[in-house]
Each structure stands twice: as structure tokens, then as C-alpha cells.
Structure 1
Amino acid sequence: MAQINPYIHFNGNAEEAFEFYKSVFGGEFAMLSRFKDMAASGFPVAEEETEKIMHVALPIGNNSVLMGSDTPSVMGKHSEQETRSKIAVAPASREEADHLFNGLSAGGQVEMPMADSPWGAYFGMFRDKYGIEWMINYDLQQK
């Protein structure tokens, strides 16, 4: 079966964001490479961007990986306010749902606080301090 892993882009602060995500989810990076690692292949990298993140991977749980990178200036900047995609997280307990919601939403903007939903889940939704949107959905049938 195919596996889906979110890949998110940043305008120069991917390392800060992924250190933050690692502090909430735990674990260690499976991979972290910088644009300077691409210089030998002829990829045009501005001198001030050589230490920026080309690729980072943070395993989450048993089967998921959160991945990302900085967007190099040769590819242009993207609007962090126009991305309306959300990363959906399915925690194993109400307590884990609260931990993830409170940790990831710190400094961000809560759209829906954690609460029991009409579809039988404990649910919350927010945009984190890096502009990434998240949904936490604990299925109450898992009890």
C-alpha cells in the first residue's frame, strides 16, 4: 500500500520550524541536508543560502515522516498565507491530542480549539507560528 508523507516548504526558516516540530513530536531527524551539499552537482545556490535546508525528514510514529525544505531564492518566495492545505494528525489518545495541539499551536493562531465534534472525534484546528496548518483528530471510537 502506498504511504503518504507531508512535505512542507519554508522561506528560509525550515531548520527552526523542524527543530520546533521535533520538540513536540520527539524523535530524531532521519535526514538533514543543506544546499551546500548540492553545490557539486551544479545546482545554483546563493552564497547566503548554502546553510539552508535542502531536505529534512522527521519520522513520526511507526509509519509517517514529516519532510520539508527551504525554498531557494532561484525558485522564488511563496506566500505562507495562501497555503490552505492542512496536515491531519491522528493521535492515539485524548491526552496525546491535547499535547500535540498545545505544543504545535503555541505562538500560532487557533481556528478551532480542541473539543468533541459532531462526527465523533475530539478535534481541533490551527495555523502554527510558521504558517503551516494542522488538524488534530482523535477518533473517540478508539477508546
Structure 2
Amino acid sequence: MGNPKQKITTFLMFEGKAEEAMNFYISLFENSEILTISRYGANEPGAEGTVLNATFSLNGQQFMCIDSSIKHEFSFTPAISLFVTCETEEEVDHLFEKLSEGGNVYMPLASYPFSEKFGWVGDKYGVTWQLTLENKN
């Protein structure tokens, strides 16, 4: 299951949208799947059917997520983001369009001194993504 050598895994805490977010993310990246999922049952701390814990992979990179049963005063912040190096302009454009729907654009898709094509977005779940075109030089 996944990459057994991966020692450090990004862990995402949602409040009721973990499964929806996982399905959205795996629809955007090739070689992606939900690896394991456990849900809260009846009379357990979390809302029945929400994610107790899950692992999923995006293009072979493994992630973990949960739906917190506790309401927190914090959520995701743009200070940490998932940095995606795309092989083609089409890939950058597609990911930017899909990830920014219902979210926030922090840096519009454009050419910058550090990248021929780059965009920075927060998705509808609050997770932040930096998208860059691979430097072919």
C-alpha cells in the first residue's frame, strides 16, 4: 500500500469534507487513489459516516486525512502549501482552473521571474496549492 519508504506524510484535517476533498483531488491527478478509509460509526465521537482516518495518494505521493470530531478555532493557512511541478502548460491551466473554483487566487496564473507560468490558489476546502510549469532548461 502506497510507498512504504515514505517517512513523512502530509496530514490534512477537515471538518466533514475529507472524503469529498480526497475524491476531488484524486480526480485531478493521474496515478491517484484512496488507499484506506475508516468512517465513524453510530455513537462514536464524529458524525456517522465521516472520515475517522484515511490515506490517499496523488501521483504516487501519499497523504493522510481525517474529519475532526472536535470543532477547532483554526483551519488551513496559505503559509503552508502543496507545491506542484507540472510538465505542460495544459496541466498548469487545468489544475489552476479546477483548484481555484470556489476558492481564492493568491497569485494569478502568469509569467514570473522565477517561473514561466505559475499560480497560487487556495481551494474550496482551504488547502493551498502552488502550481508551476517545469523549467525545461
TM over 0.5: yes
Shift of 1:45: 2.9
CA deviations 1:21-80 (Å, max 9, x no partner) are 2232254311111133xx9xxxx932x62311022222222x31233111122xx42422
Q: Could you say if the C-alpha distance between residues 105 and 16 of structure 1 is closer, same or farther in structure 2, counting changes exceeding 3 Å?
A: same
Give the length in aligned residue pairs: 132
Alignment partner of 1:100: what SS? helix
* Unaligned ranges ≥5, structure 1: none
SS at match of 2:87: coil
Q: Is the 8 A contact 2:33 2:58 kept in 1?
A: no
Return the structure number with greater strand share. 2
Shift of 1:20: 1.8
**Partners of 1:80 and 1:33 in 2: CA distance:** 22
Q: Do the aligned partners of 1:45 and 1:72 also contact (CA within 8 Å) in 2?
A: no
Matched, 1:35 2:30: no
Partner residue of 1:94? 89
CA shift for structure 1 position 120? 3.3
Distance 1:89 1:3, change over 3 A: farther
Counting helix residues as a fraction of each chain, which structure ranks higher? 1
Q: CA deviation at 1:126?
A: 1.0
* Corresponding residue to 2:55 among 54, 57, 82: 57
How many Å separate the matches in 2 of 1:108 and 1:20? Answer: 13
> CA RMSD of the aligned region, Å?
2.6
- Unaligned ranges ≥5, structure 2: none
Output the TM-score relative to the length of structure 1. Answer: 0.76
